């Protein structure tokens, strides 16, 4: 999984060059214009309605297929200006866990389970609150080891629910933890489901000794099909070739008994994808794991798995071939784990271009015919639309020649798959003339950095002299994924626009490189002939060398592939300590949701706002100030006749946004 970007803007530079920013034109703004900014303080207490009624959000992605669409329409274009904070709930983490907050990211999306709004904190507490008031009902603490240093920070994106007829825990919540456990608790009481595993939990072993505690963890929610619960895993990148296996594991949701395991990497010569791994003997590599959320189609009995790159990320000379089932959407039989079909989006990945987001299970109408599809957004900024039954492209895909001449021993794929009709959502080619800078000096430094690296466009291989990786390993798209409006065939997706500088370092020179580049990320890639150095391509003033906008949000017609609209997303207000509200866009982590009120709600940007956009045009209609970074996907529901929009505002330590611990609910005045 790619690292996240932290932009460190010099406040003095913004004071000095604010006039230069004004010359940028376009989306630059000093005032809110037609958008209304709301303050979270001085919020009146919520009123409890007498009869519980709901139209809810039952799964992490809104539904099993991750559409992130709600039929609730109380909040619309006519009422959006009246949207205000209804209640807030603080987990207390900012006080009780202040020492570990700097290693956390609040990416959780709540779900509505019966009469409780339920969510998980980055530290694997599950908390249930009243949907109308935010009053705590109960909380469960998984007691994870907070002394570990998880490779992907402390993260819990969500939980899953299962409903059955058992005497014990007939409605249960399932959570996978940062320290490698799968936990089942009673949705009504928050108590452990004793018949599941060992007193309500399973310890899932990585299968080998870890280099450090936290190399192996769970960050995304499990999924449930029938009586089967399925989990992926998150594994630290670039430590070694022979790394933990990226197996997808399935268990009986009642007993915890293991049902099946799927390893995307072939472990014997008769595996169906063995012909695409051409090294000597059985591959020793690990990873190709599914760290991003998965989707399920209960009617078809399928689980859709987005897989990542094999280990290590930036050298593949020990694993020649396309490495099929890595970097792929893989449809598995949910009962047996057998592969139903697979579609690979990157052959022989040496760029850390994992599939970063939940495969979207949507229904698209083409020429009057409704067709079930899987839409996959990617770090490369490309969108693939596949038939749900076969994996064949619904919108055409072609193989195109890509740059060659990798490092010594590398065997690159000569071609990569590209959608034909949908262009990239963000740029994927960067020339020295594209260099951005607030000053002549700043721009010259960026221009020199771009010109001095290997830079042949998308899929330029890593090199010893240094390579521009654009988009960077944070995307394009990332774990926040997309939302879909079936009535319009419209996919809404937010993406980042930044670049990495990647350099391969001979394995014998790793120690010296760490001394020389002590502020850079150095991954040893032990077992490979090269280590790696990775840096976000930044100017001396701490700005991206790529031209703004640094974040975008777009609407794509999945029937035709047309980009219907694309807008700058985010301001640099909180990156400049409030000195300017320039709308240059920001890298963003978290995803959108769509409502029947013809609105798109999203946090995600590196400023502390929740926003609403017009789904037809992408015009920003409303924004509300949050108490901390909103790097989580929001959700919405109707409770006792009132629609709420909720986001977890806890910030993202590695991205550098404001840290907090509040669940914030917005609603119209009663």
- The residues annotated as belonging to the active site are 352
Cα–Cα distance for residue pair 108/93, rounded to 1 Å:
14
Cα–Cα distance for residue pair 138/187, rounded to 1 Å:
10
Cα–Cα distance for residue pair 43/52, rounded to 1 Å:
23
The half-sphere exposure of 381 on its side-chain side, counting CA atoms within 13 A, is 25
The half-sphere exposure of 332 on its side-chain side, counting CA atoms within 13 A, is 31
Cα–Cα distance for residue pair 645/59, rounded to 1 Å:
15
Angle at 300 between CA 295 and CA 303, to 5 degrees: 25
Alpha-carbon Rg of the chain, whole angstroms? 23
* Strand blocks (E) in 544-619: 551-557, 563-568, 592-595, 599-602, 609-614
Report yes or no: 150 and 214 within 8 Å, Cβ to Cβ: yes
Cα–Cα distance for residue pair 289/279, rounded to 1 Å:
20
Nearest CA to 220 among 257, 176, 172? 176
| 197 DSSP 8-state letter | B
Nearest CA to 504 among 309, 240, 315? 315
Report yes or no: 100 and 146 within 8 Å, Cβ to Cβ: yes
Interstrand relation of 635-639 and 54-55 (parallel, antiparallel or unpaired): antiparallel
Cα–Cα distance for residue pair 633/109, rounded to 1 Å:
6
Measure Cα distances from 322 to 87, 418, 473 in Å. Answer: 51, 15, 20
Cα–Cα distance for residue pair 2/24, rounded to 1 Å:
30
Angle at 339 between CA 336 and CA 342, to 5 degrees: 155
Cα–Cα distance for residue pair 217/201, rounded to 1 Å:
15
Which secondary-structure segment (H or E) carries 136? strand 136-141
């Amino acid at each position: 999984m790619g690292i996240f970007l932290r932009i460190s803007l010099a406040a003095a530079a913004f004071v000095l060059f604010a006039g230069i920013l004004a010359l940028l034109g376009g989306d630059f703004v000093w005032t809110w214009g037609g958008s209304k900014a709301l303050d979270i303080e001085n919020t009146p207490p919520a009123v409890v309605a007498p009869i519980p009624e709901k139209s809810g959000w039952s799964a992490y992605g809104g539904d099993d297929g991750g559409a992130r669409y709600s039929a609730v329409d109380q909040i619309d274009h006519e009422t959006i200006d009246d949207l205000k904070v209804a209640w807030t709930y603080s987990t207390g983490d900012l006080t009780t866990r202040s020492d570990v907050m700097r290693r956390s990211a609040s990416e959780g999306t709540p779900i509505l389970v019966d009469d409780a709004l339920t969510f998980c904190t980055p530290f694997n507490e599950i908390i249930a609150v009243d949907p109308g008031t935010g009053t705590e009902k109960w909380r469960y603490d998984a007691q994870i080891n907070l002394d570990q240093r998880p490779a992907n920070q402390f993260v819990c994106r969500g939980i899953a629910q299962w409903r059955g007829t058992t005497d014990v825990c007939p409605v249960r919540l399932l959570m996978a933890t940062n320290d490698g456990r799968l936990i089942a608790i009673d949705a009504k009481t928050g108590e452990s489901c004793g018949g599941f595993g060992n007193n309500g939990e399973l310890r899932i072993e990585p299968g080998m000794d870890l280099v450090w505690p936290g190399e192996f963890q769970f960050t995304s929610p499990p999924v449930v099909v029938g009586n089967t619960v399925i989990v992926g895993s998150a594994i630290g990148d670039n430590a070694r070739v022979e790394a933990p296996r990226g197996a997808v594991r399935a268990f009986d949701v009642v007993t915890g008994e293991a049902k099946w395991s799927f390893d995307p990497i072939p472990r014997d010569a008769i595996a169906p994808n063995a012909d695409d791994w051409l090294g000597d003997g059985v591959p020793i590599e690990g990873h190709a794991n599914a760290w991003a959320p998965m989707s399920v189609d209960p009617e078809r009995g399928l689980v859709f798995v987005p897989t990542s790159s094999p280990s290590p990320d930036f050298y593949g000379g020990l694993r020649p071939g396309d490495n099929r089932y890595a970097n792929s959407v893989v449809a598995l039989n949910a009962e047996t784990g057998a592969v139903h079909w697979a579609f690979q989006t990157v052959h022989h990945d040496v760029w850390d271009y994992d599939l970063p987001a939940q495969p979207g299970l949507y229904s698209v109408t083409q020429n009057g015919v409704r067709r079930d599809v899987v839409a996959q957004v990617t770090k490369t900024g490309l969108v693939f639309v596949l038939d749900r039954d076969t994996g064949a492209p619904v919108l055409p895909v072609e193989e195109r020649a890509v740059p060659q001449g990798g490092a010594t021993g590398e065997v690159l794929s000569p071609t990569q798959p590209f959608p034909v009709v949908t262009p990239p959502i963000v740029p994927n080619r960067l020339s020295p003339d594209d260099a951005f800078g607030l000053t002549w000096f700043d721009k010259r430094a960026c221009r020199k950095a771009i010109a001095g690296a290997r830079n042949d466009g998308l899929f330029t291989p890593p090199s010893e002299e240094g390579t521009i990786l654009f988009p960077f390993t944070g995307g394009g798209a990332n774990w926040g994924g997309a939302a879909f409006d079936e009535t319009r065939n419209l996919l809404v997706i937010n993406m980042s626009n930044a670049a990495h500088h990647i350099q391969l370092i001979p394995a014998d020179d790793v120690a010296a490189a760490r001394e020389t580049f002590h502020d850079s990320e150095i991954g040893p890639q032990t077992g490979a002939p090269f280590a790696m150095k990775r840096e976000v391509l930044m100017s001396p003033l701490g700005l991206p060398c790529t031209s703004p906008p640094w974040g975008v949000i777009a609407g794509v017609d999945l029937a035709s592939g047309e980009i219907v609209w694309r807008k700058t997303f985010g301001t640099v207000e909180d990156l400049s300590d409030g000195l300017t509200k320039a709308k240059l866009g920001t890298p963003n982590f978290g995803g959108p949701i769509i409502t029947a009120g013809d609105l798109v709600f999203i946090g995600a940007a590196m400023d502390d706002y929740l926003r609403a956009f017009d789904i037809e045009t992408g015009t920003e209609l409303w924004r509300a100030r949050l108490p901390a970074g909103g790097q989580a996907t929001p959700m919405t529901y109707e409770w006792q006749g009132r629609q709420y929009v909720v986001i977890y505002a806890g910030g993202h330590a590695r991205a550098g946004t404001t840290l907090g611990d509040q669940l914030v609910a917005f609603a119209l005045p009663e």
